[in-house]
Amino acid sequence: MRTSGTLGNFVAISEADIKLLWGRSAGMCSRPGCGVDLTCLPEGKDAYTVGEMAHVIARSIAGPRGRAKGGDDSYANLILLCPTDHRHVDKAPDGEFPIELLHNWKMIHERRIRALGSENKFEKVEELSKAVRTILAKSHAIWNAFGPRSEAATADPNSNMYDIWELRRADTIVPNNRTIINMINANEVLLDQKQMEAFALFCVHAEAYEAHVRSPLDAYPTFPKSFEEAFAYE
Ligand SMILES: [Zn+2]
């Protein structure tokens, strides 16, 4: 449990539950049709996130959807929303946004995120490669901006960059990896032997990386260079 920094702003919610919620919703508002990207940060040194982890059942009986036994701060009782939708679901008249509806929003959103990429069908391996490289470039840009070797992190080791990096690994890089895997699986027939082998290595890396993000491992297979090479068509 953090007491300071970005993750600490979320008071009593455990780090593991924060990462789970942000990761499974890929940092997007869970209300159907909204999908606002909550990972973009306002300008300025004291960067903070704009996503809000709303309680499905309020902690107090008088709060939104309150029950005699108040809701807790666990992943199961939280839903990631943008500030506007959070206000709507909490301020609307009783019964307009019931518990079941919010659970349903969350389930549908998380299922959609998990399946990203599996609908993408390509005619040519060059098109698949380009799509893969585009996602890799997005992940790389996040690493450059917030990773441990980013300018901001090295300039001020006490900045909240580390907290932001922790979130972005969970809500952007891990879902990006899954999208790549879904996309390649859906277009497997286009791959040659070298690409199949490189893809297998990438899958091993991605799975270990996801476990590492959830709970730090001492070591894990790093991103395989061969993967990038196998999908380069310049
Ligand atoms: Zn929203």
- Tell me the per-residue pLDDT of 37-71, one tens digit each, with 9 for 90 and over: 998 766 555 556 678 999 999 999 999 999 999 99
3-state secondary structure of 162: helix
Residues of the chain with pLDDT > 90, as a percent, come to: 76
pTM: 0.88
Q: How far is ligand 1, taken at its centre, from the CA of residue 82, in Å?
A: 4
- Tell me the per-residue pLDDT of 70-120, one tens digit each, with 9 for 90 and over: 999 999 999 999 999 999 999 999 999 999 999 999 999 999 999 999 999
Q: How far is ligand 1, taken at its centre, from the CA of residue 5, in Å?
A: 24
Lowest mean pLDDT among 161-165, 179-183, 205-209: 161-165
Q: How far is ligand 1, taken at its centre, from the CA of residue 147, in Å?
A: 27
Q: How far is ligand 1, taken at its centre, from the CA of residue 122, in Å?
A: 31
- Tell me the per-residue pLDDT of 128-150, one tens digit each, with 9 for 90 and over: 999 999 999 999 999 998 898 88
Q: How far is ligand 1, taken at its centre, from the CA of residue 86, in Å?
A: 7
State the Cα angle at 223 between 111 and 141, rounded to 5°. 75
Q: How far is ligand 1, taken at its centre, from the CA of residue 46, in Å?
A: 23
Q: How far is ligand 1, taken at its centre, from the CA of residue 92, in Å?
A: 15
What Cα–Cα distance (Å) separates residue 68 from each residue in 58, 75, 100, 157?
10, 20, 17, 45
